Amino acid sequence: MKKVLTPHQIRVADAFTIENEPVSSIDLMERAAKACVDWIVKRFGVQRKIAVFAGPGNNGGDGLAIARMMHAMGYDVSVFMLTESDKLSPDCLANYQRLRDIVPTTVIGSELPELSATTIVIDALFGVGLRRSLDGKAAQTVAHINKSGCTVVAVDMPSGMFCDDNTENNPESIIRARYTLTFQQPKLSFFFAENDEYVGEWTVLDIGLLQEAIEMQGSKYFVLQKQDIAGYIQPRKKFAHKGNFGHACLAAGSHGMMGACILAARACLRTGVGLVTARIPIKEKIIMQTAVPEAIVSCYDDQYRKEPLVYPELIIYPSVNNFFYSAIAIGPGLLQSSLNKFAFFLFFGEKPLKELSGKIVLDAGALNIFSEERKLLKSMPLNSILTPHPKEFDRLFGNSENGYLRHLKQIKMAKKHSVYIVLKGAYTSIATPDGRCFFNTTGNPGMATAGSGDVLTGMILSLLAQGLPPLHAACAGVWLHGAAGDLAAQKMGQQALIASDIIDNIGKAFEISPAEN
């Protein structure tokens, strides 16, 4: 898996590569600049004017090297320096000396340079090492670029932005980039919604750091990749039968919300489970058996009664005495009724169910019941998989000011309750009981549609029932869900995409990541 590294770890990896490849630091900078230029020229023709804004450090040196290379390719390049040459870092100074007789450079003074809205701005003012909000001339320059209407390409990081926590940063002194070209590894701050207006569309460029240098760095943050998921999906044997692929129980649905149960059940089946039993209110039996004929239907009476005989009829009660399911998911389309709350107290009791450790997915209505009956939190089975969206997460664990702080709480709660928390979003993340966090980059905004989360629950349930451990089931489910959504968007477009389209493309998503035979 691709690691997310801190600025210090990035500097260590740079230094290790320089010493052990060996390669000079200025030549490593040349590689980084060349990777950026290759990306830029594929997207912007030579008729576009280029304005490079360079700071005093190595990020500025990257920008100066980019300016030199693009000038040599015939682009009309202007260079604006934040400081005089006697204040530059050694490698930045070396690139300034290579450039100064080729492209005139201007030190930014009290008058900020005029920028045409059609100009491409290369932001190379500050990189990953920044530790305080920009002020003075730097902040003024950033504000001027942001107001220009230019397309901004940030080198490694949008200037003014921190690699991780931007809670106390000044948003007015951060570059608003259309594109960010980051080097070798993604940066943690890229994954949070509040930073999207600064980062824009980001791309990781390989600049040839030694893999050994990356592997030496410890990290609790990872980005899911296709090859990781391929290792979790095993090919089917010729003489396999449905009993080899698990029996999933889906406790879901209510009057008017049976679509959530239907979508989850269909997704569960499409993801390869052998059998799925839908545990639903008895009045919804016909719609379920009609919509998903492949599913087994087990019904209960969801009408409140005073007689004790109602107890065996509760939504998930039979699973306690007859635990023959490979895995259970509870929640899609489930009401937070008094009866269901009673069922939860009966089912989860005073302590976690040991037999459900690593075998249960909690979503939607189930999470909302936990948030209303907080004493039940301590009774969640160990290694449960929780799949909240941000509002459900906040109801469960308290409000957070921004995505980064919610992320810290996500890790804290996963450790505290010994569960896996799948926090859904543009970059869905999976926090683990041991404090690690895995980010997913498949998927698209078209998946922000009713039922998409129910599909994900069904997929994770299916993989869990087929025998994958909770972490692998969560990671594979999230990645495949996003990949299926991307395939659907290619056919339907993002605006027209609905949850059923995701289900219809699950099979193709598996083809993207075939296991080795």
* 148-172 per-position pLDDT tens digit: 999 999 999 999 999 999 999 999 9
Looking at residue 515, its pLDDT comes to: 47
List, in sequence order, every residue forming a beta bridge with 106; answer none if it has no partner.
80
Looking at residue 308, its pLDDT comes to: 45
Counting residues of the chain whose pLDDT is more than 70, the rounded percentage is: 94
List, in sequence order, every residue forming a beta bridge with 275; answer none if it has no partner.
247
Looking at residue 516, its pLDDT comes to: 42
Alpha-carbon span 200 to 158, nearest angstrom: 9
The SS3 of residue 107 is strand
Looking at residue 192, its pLDDT comes to: 97
Question: Could you write out the DSSP letters of every residue in 430-484?
Answer: EE-TTS-EEE-----GGG-STTHHHHHHHHHHHHHHTT--HHHHHHHHHHHHHHH
Looking at residue 305, its pLDDT comes to: 53
Alpha-carbon span 511 to 517, nearest angstrom: 13
| Residue 517 banded pLDDT, cuts 50, 70, 90 | very low
| Token code pair at residue 70 | 């693009």
| Residue 335 banded pLDDT, cuts 50, 70, 90 | confident
> Cα-Cα-Cα-Cα dihedral of 502, 507, 511, 516, to 10°?
130
Looking at residue 323, its pLDDT comes to: 58
AA letter at 120: I
| Residue 352 banded pLDDT, cuts 50, 70, 90 | low
The CATH 3.40.50.10260 portion of the chain extends over: 2-219
Burial class (CB in 10 A: 0-12, 13-18, 19+), 188: buried
Whether the per-residue pLDDT at 356 is higher than 90: the answer is no
Average pLDDT in the 310-322 region? 48
Which of these ranges, 57-61, 254-258, 341-345, 391-395, has the smallest mean pLDDT? 341-345
Alpha-carbon span 385 to 491, nearest angstrom: 31
Whether the per-residue pLDDT at 104 is higher than 80: the answer is yes
| Residue 337 banded pLDDT, cuts 50, 70, 90 | confident
| Token code pair at residue 301 | 């009476």
Average pLDDT in the 181-189 region? 96
Whether the per-residue pLDDT at 321 is higher than 60: the answer is no
Average pLDDT in the 327-345 region? 84
Alpha-carbon span 296 to 294, nearest angstrom: 7
AA letter at 353: L
Looking at residue 300, its pLDDT comes to: 80
Which of these ranges, 207-211, 233-237, 316-320, 481-485, has the smallest mean pLDDT? 316-320
Average pLDDT in the 130-146 region? 95
Sheet bearing 120-124, strands edge to edge? 105-107, 77-81, 50-54, 120-124, 151-155, 179-183, 201-205
| Token code pair at residue 170 | 């000044």
Average pLDDT in the 244-270 region? 95
Report which of residues 348 and 31 the model is more confident about: 31
In contact, 270 and 499? CB cutoff 8 Å: no
Question: Could you write out the DSSP letters of every residue in 238-276?
Answer: TT--GGGG-EEEEE---TT-HHHHHHHHHHHHHTT-SEE
Residue 103 φ then ψ, to 5°: -125, 120
Which of 430-434's residues contact partners 24+ apart within 8 Å by CB, and which partners? 430/471, 430/474, 430/475, 430/478, 432/471, 433/382, 433/383
Q: How far is CA 61 from CA 41, 98, 396, 508, in A?
A: 19, 11, 47, 44
Other CB atoms within 10 Å distance of the CB of residue 196 = 16
What topology is assigned to 2-219 in CATH? Rossmann fold (3.40.50)
Average pLDDT in the 360-371 region? 94
Looking at residue 59, its pLDDT comes to: 97
Q: What pTM does this model have?
A: 0.94
Q: Nearest-CA neighbor of 327 among 453, 460, 455?
A: 460
| Token code pair at residue 191 | 């994954």
Average pLDDT in the 206-229 region? 95
The SS3 of residue 198 is helix
Q: How far is CA 393 from CA 206, 346, 364, 381, in A?
A: 35, 24, 10, 18
| Residue 466 banded pLDDT, cuts 50, 70, 90 | very high
The CATH 3.40.1190.20 portion of the chain extends over: 227-512
Please give the CATH number for the structural domain made up of 227-512.
3.40.1190.20
Burial class (CB in 10 A: 0-12, 13-18, 19+), 316: buried
Looking at residue 514, its pLDDT comes to: 46
Looking at residue 304, its pLDDT comes to: 55
AA letter at 346: L
* 117-127 per-position pLDDT tens digit: 999 999 999 99
Mean pLDDT score of the chain, rounded to an integer?
92
Looking at residue 303, its pLDDT comes to: 66
| Residue 493 banded pLDDT, cuts 50, 70, 90 | very high
Looking at residue 314, its pLDDT comes to: 55
